[in-house]
Structure 1
Amino acid sequence: PARATGPPARATAADVHELYALRSQIGAGGYAVVHLATRVSDGVRVAMKIMDMTQRSESERANVWYEIGLLAKLNDEHVIRLHEFFHERDEVYMATEYLAGGDLLDAIANDGEYNEDMARGIFRRVLRGVKYLHEEGITHRDMKLENLLLGAKDDVSSVKICDLGLAKKAKDRLRGANAGTPQYAAPEVLASTPGDSSAHAAPVDAWACGVILYILLCGCAPFTPKIEDDDRELYELVKSSPVKFDQPVWAKLSPSARDLVLRLLDKDPRARLSAKEALEHAWMQAD
């Protein structure tokens, strides 16, 4: 796949307010706010994430710099780009490319499920981004619809992976700290114990991709507890229940699409397809 162009992100010594004009707030959470900002030199719009470091523990501050270190080295058209970052007094500023279209979860909420051709186009970009991260030795660990952003509203062909806050280099994976979102968590993550590195290996991203594809095709998640937000039942379903294709829409979809879903949602991480293998699957090769 094509790589993004331009130099890697850098730390910038100049005052952020001299280089960028902050506009409206577009997000907030976790001792951070995100503003739309305009680069004074050329008018380029960016998303400026501002993090208050005084409210964070030592380990949380270390994770901020870890995320910046990862993002600064990434250069791929399927992953959000960090332009530059600043450290001023007790705040860290991250200027990333601005993706104005919202996230894929909102797009699906508006559109419902996608036909196979549209789902394939979206999923191809997702897999290419995940494959790139894995080739760089990085496991995202929080792949989900909310972390797939669109360059423009309703432009699902522009989807990019964002939010590498939980991502880890293979050699730096956390021990004994399950991460991610329950609906997308792989069985080995839910069953892991402290020191279990399988909970942070590349197959956990592949499982999450399987969940994403299932939702793209039918508009709902593959594992749904009878009582909403009952995580205990959800965990048991993920660990022991087979993938079901009960929704009427599946009768209209190809066996090849179901096969790819099943091979990504294989409960054995050793048998699960990798992102590279998924891209080579027959369904992904269809026109």
Structure 2
Amino acid sequence: MSSFEVRKQKERLFLMGIGSLTFLALLPLFHIIATVFRNGLPVIIKEGLNFLTGTFSNGGIGPAIIGTFTLTFLASLLGLPIAFLVGLYAYEFPRSTIGRWTKMLLQIMIEFPTILVGVFVMQVLVVPMGTYSAFAGALALAIILMPYVAIYTHEAMREIPFTYREAGYSLGLTRIKVLLKILAPMAKRGIFTGVLIGVAKVAGETAPLLFTAGGLYESYPSSVTKPIGSISLLIYQLVQSPSPADHEMAWGASLILLIVFLGIFIPIRLSLKEVKL
């Protein structure tokens, strides 16, 4: 056997090994998706539109769906601007004391137990207010969302060659204009990836909401200062029940949460065009 044929065989074995490992890595994901669809779809079909619009006592999760979107929107409104600016600062002043500490704290916040975030917000907001609220839940989720967006913003900006910064300065642009009008648009793919990951993370969070949101499933949320429900929180409460009917509703709610996640993440991710440098 010639050396060329030996190399070809090694290459085929290598590709087969990589393909097998990739399949094994993706298998749990596809198994979860298939299981949720298999158990949740019959529940939704049986209940019909009422499952999406009705209250809990009527066999529906309408308030939880609206609560999830409300909490995610408020968390994004609170967290995204701050996270973007923090990421820009960490990129622009990497050697400053504040810049170094900022990057370290962002790494810590990503690994920080989210239930402790809920306990913190409960102490600083829920206890003084005397009630659970949508704002408290959104604040907890915003704290969880920010490190993902900030780190992805920082890393995406670092990928832009320094020559583009020099070109901006040569045109007489200020530092802030170079950052916001030249570098940030070029790094938008990486930045939006961080936004999507952060939003997807908080949309399915449960632990911090146990201490902040309270849960509301018999009526739709009417104020940010009152308790609110979410799909993930409802699932957590349903699976603790011994009732088979509650378990069926939990599977249906799980499928709705999965559809919400995929319906938001996939189209936006595919629509982001890569910037060629």
The bucket for the TM-score relative to the shorter chain is under 0.3
- With CA pairs under 8 Å and 6+ residues apart, which has the higher RCO, 1 or 2? 2
Larger strand fraction of residues: 1
TM-score (normalised: structure 1): 0.27
Instruction: Identify the structure with the greater helix proportion.
Output: 2
Larger radius of gyration: 2
Scaled by the length of structure 2, the TM-score of the pair is 0.28
